A and B are shown apart, each in its own frame.
Chain A
Amino acid sequence: MNRTGWTLIGLVTLALAIALPFMVMPFYVRVGQLILLSSALALSWTLLGGFAGYWSFGHSAFIGLGAFAGGLFETGVLPGTGLWGFAAAILVGAGLSAAAASAVAWPILRLRGIYFAVAMLGVSQVLAELNNNIDAFKGSMGLVLPRLSAFGLRPEAFFYDILLLATVTVFLIALWVKTSRLGHGLLAMREDEDTARMLGVPTERYKVAMFVLSAALTGALGVIYAHSLGYITTSSVYRTDFSLNMIVYNLLGGIGTIAGPFIGSAVMVVLTQVFLGRLLNIHMFVTGALLVLLVLAAPRGLPGLFRRR
């Protein structure tokens, strides 16, 4: 299919997405929220993971950092400023995540493969523990965030729209990265970093750039997620299952692609919220079984199943 075809499909999907809150019940709007949030997070993750080949198992570190940094700033410095405070919080959250990423980027990106994955897991755990045990961060007592809305929208529709905006932004950024020279360099790096370096790809700069970009976007999304809940504690945002979900959605949808995160999160969110939502006490088992099935039966993700021969 050619470029025009894809653009057309994209625009139609976007139109449908915008119209969604007016067409379905609030529950499905919330499901939509979750799909958008998960897709955007998975896409942000894959900038570093799928594109560059550095699988971080601790990206929830940035969700948490962003959420608390933004939230603390908003409630401490700019209370009562409504949407302006929210916007400021997003900037602060993204900024602090980017700064944190820059600080650790050089040493941590020297690690490869599983070592990098575990190191990021460690980083997210350290941050989570510090957040929970240092009173100033309000991680254990929790942070109450202001209730937001605009244009008379119901809260779930409002956050849906914000997340839609955010997801489209992340999508465009990812698209730009992929089709640019940077993106080709990353692809080379993913396949064989040392050879790429030898051939003149500035791997160090590219890695760090992706790491920081990925962190910033994740941090921003963390702020939005936190506001959609209205009250957060350490355990609502620094969640290992978020870190793992980002990877699972990519695996399911096809790692290294831009459509992958969307496919993966749509399938998993619908499965776990809409269908497994009714199961009282075995949903964890079923989720685990699905993961096992996924890895065994669809190692290249769902698209891989249909693309074979």
Chain B
Amino acid sequence: MRMSRRSLVTMAGGTILAAPALRRAAAQAKTITFGGSVPLSGGAAETGLNVNNGYATAVKFINETFGGVEVAGAKYRLELKLFDDASDPSRAVTLIQRQLDEGVDFFLGSFGSPIVLPTAAITERAEKPMVQAGGGSDQIFTQGFKYVFGFFPRATRQFISTADFMHSLKPALSNYSLIFTNDAFSKTAAQGVINSMKEQGIPLLESYTFPETITDASSVLASIRAKTPDALVCMTHDQDNLLLAKQMIATGTNVNYLFQGLGPQLGSFRETLGAKANGIFFQTYWDERAPLQDKFFGTPARFAAYYKANYTRPIAYHVSAGAACIVTYIEAMQKAGSLDPVKVRDALAGIDISTQYSRIKFTEQGDGDPVIMGPWIGQVVKGQAEVVAPAAAKTAEYTYPTPAWDKRV
């Protein structure tokens, strides 16, 4: 018994050690490799999987349909080389170093400042660009990085369009209350809400802070029922927003305007709440019906169709954003006429193109231009996530004030 156990462990160890020697690097013609990490386990995995699928869709589509891309007269296939950072910064920095050692020149970012900041510092030092469709908190863009680009405007600027919309509502909103969780993104986004709403002149009634994961909001909701704010803005993540919505419904906590930053965009969210989801406002960065043009995919509708033909997972705006990261890189490479990371970086800094996700233009610090890449206003209408403002992008009319929970059918 003991002998066999010992030899079993030795054999297992030997196999694991031998494995890399057995792997052979596939012989490739010319390829452009994109490296980086996505969180596929841990709390951010839902978005991580969407972004990952977006990257993969773009790479697959371009390789299949066009056989690759042409840069400076030579043809290249695209290759994705991502790892799961498990939302663990020490793992992320170690494995990204490996990719740098292996000669990866172009990086796709993870998200969440705890991962992005340490890894960006490394790629920045190595002078390799990083384009990421996540991680919008301000700190990322105030470190003086020159090689880091983000698709979303920094968190404090993400509420500008929504505040503007809220200001335009009739009857006018008399006040609002704010809920947010204690994590870097939600806090900076909440600060953005406060700034933007102040500019629009809508007073803050009360602000409630939750820990990173919410299990119970009953005391906060009791306070909201007592103070009756006109509007409630929830800057939390999807699971927390769903919990808030469910508890609000179950306790009959009503407001005239409910905004939830992340959540209503997801099919599973709306399905859970059923008809009660109708009327919830949110922000969205993309809709497959939008009138946009992409050099490779054509329209968002075509992109969505290709995605759905290859994946069963419902589409979300992060998928589109991920795909657009790849397209943006390619266009920058073609504009620079080179695969030199420094030249590509310069091309990215000055880029202004149209993709199926959005027009792409970065600020000087590298985050998305707040007007061009800022969000649209969305509302759940008849169970679908519709765009209700601005007029150029809208797909449905909005309802305001929203009916009470028990009146929604």
Given a CB threshold of 8 Å, the question of whether A touches B is answered with: yes
Residues of chain A at the chain B interface (Cβ within 8 Å): 25-27, 30-31, 33-34, 129, 132-133, 139-142, 144, 147, 155-156, 225, 228-233, 235-236, 241, 271-273, 275, 277-281, 283-284, 293, 297-298, 302, 305-306, 308-309
- Add 8 more A-B contacts to A277-B95, A280-B83 (CB < 8 A): A27-B94, A27-B101, A230-B118, A232-B89, A275-B16, A277-B83, A277-B98, A279-B84
Docked complex Cα distance between A156 and B98 (Å): 12
Do the beta carbons of B9 and A233 come within 8 Å of each other?
A: no
Residues of A within 8 A of B114 (CB): 142, 231-233, 235-236
Do the beta carbons of B139 and A142 come within 8 Å of each other?
A: yes
Docked complex Cα distance between A225 and B5 (Å): 37
The verdict on A144 contacting B143 (CB below 8 Å), with A132-B182, A133-B209, A229-B118 known, is yes
The 8 closest A-B pairs by CB, nearest first: A231-B117, A27-B98, A140-B182, A25-B101, A27-B101, A30-B94, A229-B118, A27-B97
Residues of B within 8 A of A144 (CB): 117, 139, 143
**Residue of A whose beta carbon sits closest to that of B49:** A281
Instruction: Determine whether B46 belongs to the interface, using a CB cutoff of 8 Å to chain A.
Output: no
The residue in B87, B89, B101 that gathers the most chain A C-beta atoms within 10 A of its C-beta is B89
Q: B334-347 interface mask toward A, CB cutoff 8 Å, 1 = contact, 0 = none?
A: 00000000000000
**Residue of A whose beta carbon sits closest to that of B2:** A308
Residues of B within 8 A of A26 (CB): 97, 100-101
Residues of chain B at the chain A interface (Cβ within 8 Å): 2, 5-6, 8-10, 12, 16, 19-20, 40-41, 82-84, 86-91, 93-95, 97-98, 100-101, 113-114, 117-118, 121, 125, 139, 143, 182-184, 187-188, 209, 211-212
Among B2, B40, B113, which residue has its beta carbon within 8 angstroms of that of A233?
B113
The verdict on A129 contacting B83 (CB below 8 Å), with A26-B101, A231-B118 known, is no
Do the beta carbons of B182 and A297 come within 8 Å of each other?
A: no
Do the beta carbons of A229 and B139 come within 8 Å of each other?
A: no
The residue in A133, A235, A241 that gathers the most chain B C-beta atoms within 10 A of its C-beta is A235
The verdict on A230 contacting B121 (CB below 8 Å), with A30-B94, A34-B90, A280-B84 known, is yes
The residue in A31, A144, A231, A275 that gathers the most chain B C-beta atoms within 10 A of its C-beta is A231
Do the beta carbons of B113 and A280 come within 8 Å of each other?
A: no
Docked complex Cα distance between A3 and B86 (Å): 43
Instruction: Classify the secondary structure of A's interface with B.
Output: helix
Do the beta carbons of B211 and A231 come within 8 Å of each other?
A: no
- B85 CB to closest chain A CB, in angstroms? 10
Do the beta carbons of B89 and A229 come within 8 Å of each other?
A: yes
Docked complex Cα distance between A156 and B90 (Å): 12
**Residue of A whose beta carbon sits closest to that of B113:** A142
Do the beta carbons of A298 and B9 come within 8 Å of each other?
A: yes
- A sample of 13 cross-chain residue pairs with beta-carbon separation below 8 angstroms, ordered by A number, consists of A132-B211, A140-B184, A140-B187, A144-B117, A144-B139, A225-B90, A233-B184, A236-B89, A272-B91, A277-B94, A280-B84, A281-B40, A293-B12
- A283 CB to closest chain B CB, in angstroms? 6
Residues of B within 8 A of A233 (CB): 113-114, 183-184
Docked complex Cα distance between A235 and B88 (Å): 9
**Residue of B whose beta carbon sits closest to that of A140:** B182
Residues of A within 8 A of B19 (CB): 275
**Residue of B whose beta carbon sits closest to that of A271:** B16
Do the beta carbons of A278 and B90 come within 8 Å of each other?
A: no
Docked complex Cα distance between A155 and B122 (Å): 9
The verdict on A133 contacting B94 (CB below 8 Å), with A141-B184, A231-B113 known, is no
**Residue of A whose beta carbon sits closest to that of B94:** A30
- B341 CB to closest chain A CB, in angstroms? 17
Docked complex Cα distance between A284 and B143 (Å): 32
**Residue of A whose beta carbon sits closest to that of B84:** A280
Residues of B within 8 A of A230 (CB): 117-118, 121
Do the beta carbons of A229 and B184 come within 8 Å of each other?
A: no
Among A147, A273, A281, A306, which residue has its beta carbon within 8 angstroms of that of B41?
A281
The verdict on A155 contacting B40 (CB below 8 Å), with A140-B187, A271-B16, A284-B86 known, is no
Residues of A within 8 A of B182 (CB): 132-133, 139-140
Residues of B within 8 A of A133 (CB): 182, 209, 211
Do the beta carbons of B9 and A132 come within 8 Å of each other?
A: no
**Residue of A whose beta carbon sits closest to that of B98:** A27
Residues of A within 8 A of B16 (CB): 271, 275
Do the beta carbons of B121 and A147 come within 8 Å of each other?
A: yes
Residues of B within 8 A of A155 (CB): 125
Residues of A within 8 A of B84 (CB): 279-281, 283
Docked complex Cα distance between A232 and B88 (Å): 11
Docked complex Cα distance between A230 and B118 (Å): 6
Residues of A within 8 A of B113 (CB): 142, 231, 233
**Residue of A whose beta carbon sits closest to that of B118:** A229
**Residue of B whose beta carbon sits closest to that of A294:** B9
**Residue of B whose beta carbon sits closest to that of A147:** B121
Residues of B within 8 A of A308 (CB): 2, 6
Docked complex Cα distance between A30 and B99 (Å): 12
Residues of B within 8 A of A228 (CB): 93
Docked complex Cα distance between A162 and B378 (Å): 52
- B245 CB to closest chain A CB, in angstroms? 23
Residues of B within 8 A of A33 (CB): 94
- A52 CB to closest chain B CB, in angstroms? 28
The residue in A142, A273, A302 that gathers the most chain B C-beta atoms within 10 A of its C-beta is A142
Do the beta carbons of A231 and B40 come within 8 Å of each other?
A: no
Residues of B within 8 A of A140 (CB): 182-184, 187, 212
- B365 CB to closest chain A CB, in angstroms? 15
Docked complex Cα distance between A305 and B12 (Å): 14
Docked complex Cα distance between A189 and B83 (Å): 46
Among B6, B20, B40, B88, which residue has its beta carbon within 8 angstroms of that of A306?
B6
Docked complex Cα distance between A306 and B7 (Å): 10
**Residue of A whose beta carbon sits closest to that of B125:** A155
Docked complex Cα distance between A280 and B95 (Å): 12
- A63 CB to closest chain B CB, in angstroms? 11
Do the beta carbons of B211 and A280 come within 8 Å of each other?
A: no
Docked complex Cα distance between A166 and B11 (Å): 35
Docked complex Cα distance between A129 and B117 (Å): 22
The residue in A129, A132, A281, A306 that gathers the most chain B C-beta atoms within 10 A of its C-beta is A281
- A72 CB to closest chain B CB, in angstroms? 16
